[in-house]
Amino acid sequence: MIELATRRLTLRRFVPGDANAMTNVLCDPEVMRFSIAGVRRPSDVPVWLRHRIDEAGVHPDLGIRAVVERPGGGVIGYAGLRMDPARCGADVAELSYRLAQRCWGQGYATEAAAAIVEHGLGALRLPRIVAVVDPTNAASLRVVAKLQMAFERPIMLPSYSYPDHLYGIE
């Protein structure tokens, strides 16, 4: 997996030492409010992290990356691309990201997501990238708009009472 760098961020593979930082993200009810998986327990984080590390070995160009604040900052969340045919269709990469609350409103989500999308469409030559966004998640709606992802259709996920929205870019 190639390390990606932006003006303020580095996107790299996860390492076991990232568990404490990711506990601050994955166990925060406000950060996880729009997650189908919901809020994680602290004891779940090492397992989540091990899955991300293992995924990087199976799909070295895809996967969820640690988002690291530069210079010298720590892990502030994750961003990446995943393939889930049951969720979004065959051969479609889905953009995913979450950041610690203290980093909201600073443009980090857009910066990280833009780097991931550029890498996916450019270097990886993916034909299409999608994002699934809860229509009440104003912050993520702004991110997909800045990425110029177009609304495609509603998408009903298991256990949801209303559809999310699927956005795409080619």
| Secondary structure (3-state) at 141 | helix
Instruction: Tell me if 143 sits within 8 A of 165, measured CB to CB.
Output: no
Q: What is the chain's pLDDT, residue by residue, as a tens digit (170 residues)?
A: 679 999 999 999 999 999 999 999 999 999 999 998 899 999 999 999 999 999 877 777 888 999 999 988 899 999 999 887 777 777 789 999 999 999 999 999 999 999 999 999 999 999 999 999 999 999 999 999 999 999 999 998 887 889 999 999 99
Q: Phi first, then psi: give them for residue 163, nearest 5 degrees.
A: -80, 145
The pTM is what?
A: 0.93
